[in-house]
């Protein structure tokens, strides 16, 4: 189940959840594209983008906690080898970032 770079798609999916740098590394390692790794790369990109709402005063910290919970759920899904979208936004992330 490894691609030509020798990296297991599950490992690439897990790496995608390790900050923005991990996401970039996962994007580079996902060549040729793995359906599983691409799924988790799209999920994390969405989480990175919506986490920017966390900079809004007063409601930002509440939203940041919500994003943290979504990140944990996505990470657990990758570790378990499942393609389970994060609640609320996951399906939208798959549509919006389908080119990844």
Q: What value does the mean pLDDT take over residues 59-78? A: 92
- The pLDDT score that the predictor gives to residue 49 is 92
Model confidence pLDDT, tens digit, residues 6-49? 688 999 999 999 989 999 999 999 988 899 999 999 999 999 99
- The pLDDT score that the predictor gives to residue 6 is 66
- The pLDDT score that the predictor gives to residue 11 is 92
Helix H or strand E segment including 59 = none
Give CA separation, 33 vs 20, 30, 49, in Å: 19, 5, 22
């Amino acid at each position: 189940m490894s691609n030509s770079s020798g990296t297991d798609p599950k490992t690439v999916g897990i790496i995608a959840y390790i900050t923005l740098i991990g996401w970039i590394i996962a994007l580079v390692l996902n060549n040729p594209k793995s359906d599983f790794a691409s799924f988790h790369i799209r999920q994390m990109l969405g989480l990175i983008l919506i986490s920017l709402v966390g900079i809004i005063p007063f409601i930002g910290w509440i939203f940041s906690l919500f994003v943290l919970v979504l990140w944990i759920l996505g990470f657990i899904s990758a570790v378990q080898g499942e393609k389970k979208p994060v609640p609320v936004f996951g399906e939208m992330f798959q549509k919006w970032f389908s080119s990844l």
